[in-house]
């Protein structure tokens, strides 16, 4: 056997035990008459000791030629260290080597295999197999496995059945572009990779599998960012004979279970917040409620005061920054420059200082007196020593801008503690969303989301007012899961597709299989999908998902390690009846 123990296992209790270890050379310290080598595997590090008085000469010569990341096997005796290392679990012992076998040599790695490496993102992605040897990435992948296992434990114990659904499916309009796969056996036709298993899990409900889940890969051909990948993993769940409250209770339970078993944290409260309130108070539909700084709408106390910027605005809104009156004018100017960045897009920012003596000092004192500024403070909840920051403009844009400012200030103020977890449900989303460019409505979630009871008639008169029987689970300012009660009858589904612009022919072509299934006794059903990558990152105290994915793509959707995507040769193109029409 290659090893009797792993490199994180040996303790003082193993002294005088003959052991066999295998692993990678972390480092070599050659003192001439003695050599120390740190041997690493995924379990830890054990120090190896070579002594010219007790180690055969040939082995000493071998040891002196070892380099970083050589793969070796050693046999030897566990002895107590003369100088103990309290920083590692094996720090009380070392192994006096009697046999050494070089299993494989190694080139000098392009970056150091240390917790804090000298490798940049690009080079580490190119040599991802080396990056995985580093503790931060290795531990993130182990952490992900633990989360996935706990998900399976919880759902299986609650009667859920894990069912796999196909990857080669039909292209359906679900909000993002599909990845398509040509079919050699069906010339000129294409499969699509699933953006989600949505229709299949609904068909499983029709089939009587009343509690389904799977941990499944999904694919979306869309622009990327730090927390988004072209292929991602969902914890996909569906239940039959349920209402919204049933689903919320089940997945509150799952989230509590994960926080307790993975993070050792007890969370009792899962507040419910209306979508409209989330937008009004926080400017987005996934608010971080670990801290306050709620929005205060100031139209009534700022407009008609001869200040044109506010008078011409659809919305004037502010937040109170705790302790912000300590900011210097230079610091406030930098804050103004920050909101004017293209990524935020504000035209400027007005502010008011809340002085310790109860007076106020604003950048627009010419237009607003002390009574006016006192009302600003009252509406935003500002106290003595705070700073009121005010933005104005079109409602949707200014809410998004102030939301970005709120999160930036909270980060600077240390209010976003990754060890504190604040979940909430956001409910009653709009069913439809207006595309301002085309003037057409599209489904805010997907075409199978049910409207709230009694609101289907509003689709003909006030489609923008219809609320969806939909819900998102938010954790620390991130959407970690979302779902809805589904439409389960053919008539309602046909009405919904009509209002989304589908003709009867298009609806039949795209969703005929689902509409047919609804005619064979489809039960009321609904579900939820967690984004596993994001959930794991947040539970692990991170904002980005990449280090929790074994082989991620970069921000251009490329795998730089295997150099994909890549061209295919002419013979394959011909076999698939494809012809390239590349833009120059």
Annotated binding site for L-aspartate: 174, 220, 445, 486
Under DSSP, is residue 19 helix (H, G, I), strand (E, B) or coil?
strand
Q: Where are the alpha helices (H) located in 7-105, listed in sequence order? A: 57-64
Q: Are 100 and 59 in contact (CB under 8 A)?
A: yes
How many CB atoms lie under 10 A from the CB of residue 424?
Answer: 19
Measured CA to CA in angstroms, residue 90 lies from 19, 314, 526 at distances of 14, 65, 51
- Please state, in angstroms and rounded to a whole number, the distance separating the CA atoms of residues 518 and 515: 5
* Overall size of the chain counted in residues: 584
Residue reference for tokens 């993002």: 176
Q: Are 213 and 237 in contact (CB under 8 A)?
A: yes
The encoded tokens of residue 404 equal 């970005």
Task: Give the residues across from 531 on adjacent strands.
Answer: 234
- Please state, in angstroms and rounded to a whole number, the distance separating the CA atoms of residues 177 and 234: 18
- Give the residue ranges of the annotated binding site: 174, 220-222, 229, 445, 479, 486, 531-534
- Give the residue ranges of the annotated binding site for ATP: 220-222, 229, 479, 531-534
Q: Are 336 and 328 in contact (CB under 8 A)?
A: no
Q: What is the DSSP letter of 285?
A: S
- Please state, in angstroms and rounded to a whole number, the distance separating the CA atoms of residues 190 and 210: 31
What are the backbone angles phi and psi of residue 74, rounded to the nearest 5°? Answer: -130, 155
């Amino acid at each position: 056997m290659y090893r009797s123990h792993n490199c994180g296992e040996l303790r003082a209790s193993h002294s005088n035990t003959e052991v066999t270890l295998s692993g990678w050379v972390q480092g070599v310290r050659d003192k001439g008459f003695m050599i120390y080598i740190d041997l690493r595997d995924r379990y830890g590090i054990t120090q190896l000791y070579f002594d010219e008085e007790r180690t055969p000469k040939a082995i000493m010569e071998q040891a002196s030629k070892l380099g970083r990341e050589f793969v070796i096997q050693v046999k030897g005796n566990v002895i107590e260290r003369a100088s103990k290392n309290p920083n590692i679990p094996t720090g009380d012992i070392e192994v006096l080597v009697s046999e050494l076998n070089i299993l494989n040599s190694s080139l000098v790695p392009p970056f150091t295999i240390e917790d804090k490496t000298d490798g940049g993102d690009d080079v580490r992605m190119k040599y991802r197999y080396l990056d995985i040897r580093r503790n931060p990435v290795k531990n993130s992948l182990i952490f992900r496995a633990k989360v996935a296992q706990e998900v399976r434990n919880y759902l299986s114990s609650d009667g859920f059945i894990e069912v796999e659904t196909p990857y080669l499916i039909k292209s359906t309009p679900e909000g993002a572009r599909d990845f398509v796969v040509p079919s050699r056996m069906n010339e000129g036709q294409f499969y699509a990779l699933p953006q989600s298993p949505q229709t299949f899990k609904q068909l499983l409900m029709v089939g009587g599998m009343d509690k389904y889940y799977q941990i499944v890969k999904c694919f979306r051909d869309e622009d990327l960012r730090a927390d988004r990948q072209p292929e991602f993993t969902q914890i996909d769940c569906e239940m039959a004979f349920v209402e919204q409250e049933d689903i919320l209770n089940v997945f509150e339970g799952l989230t509590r279970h994960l926080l307790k078993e993975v993070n050792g944290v007890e969370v009792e409260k899962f507040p419910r917040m209306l979508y409209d309130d989330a937008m009004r108070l926080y400017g987005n539909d996934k608010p971080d409620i670990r801290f306050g700084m709620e929005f205060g709408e100031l139209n009534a106390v700022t407009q008609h005061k001869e200040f044109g910027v506010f008078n011409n605005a659809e919305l004037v809104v502010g937040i109170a920054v705790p302790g912000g009156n300590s900011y210097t004018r230079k610091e406030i100017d930098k804050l103004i420059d920050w909101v004017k960045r293209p990524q935020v897009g504000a035209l400027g920012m007005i502010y008011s200082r809340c002085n310790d003596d109860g007076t106020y000092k604003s950048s627009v004192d010419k237009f607003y007196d002390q009574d006016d500024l006192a009302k600003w403070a009252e509406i935003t909840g500002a106290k003595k020593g705070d700073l009121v920051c005010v933005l104005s403009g079109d409602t949707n844009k200014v809410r998004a801008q102030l939301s970005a400012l709120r999160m930036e200030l909270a980060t600077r103020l240390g209010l976003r503690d990754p060890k504190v977890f604040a979940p909430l449900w956001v409910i009653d989303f709009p069913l439809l969303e207006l595309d301002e460019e085309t003037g057409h409505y599209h489904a805010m979630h997907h075409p199978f989301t049910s409207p709230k009871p009694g609101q289907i008639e509003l689709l003909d008169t006030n489609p923008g007012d219809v609320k969806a029987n939909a819900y998102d689970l938010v954790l620390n300012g991130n959407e970690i899961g979302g779902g809805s009660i589904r439409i389960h009858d053919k008539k309602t589904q046909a009405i919904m597709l009509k209002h989304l612009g589908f003709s009867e022919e298009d609806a039949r072509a795209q969703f005929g299989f689902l509409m047919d299934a609804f005619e064979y006794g489809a039960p009321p059903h609904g579900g939820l999908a967690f984004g596993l990558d994001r959930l794991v990152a947040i539970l692990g105290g991170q904002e980005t998902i990449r280090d929790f994915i074994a082989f991620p793509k970069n921000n251009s959707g490329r795998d730089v390690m295997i150099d994909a995507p890549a061209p295919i040769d002419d013979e394959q193109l011909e076999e698939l009846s494809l012809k390239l029409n590349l833009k120059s």
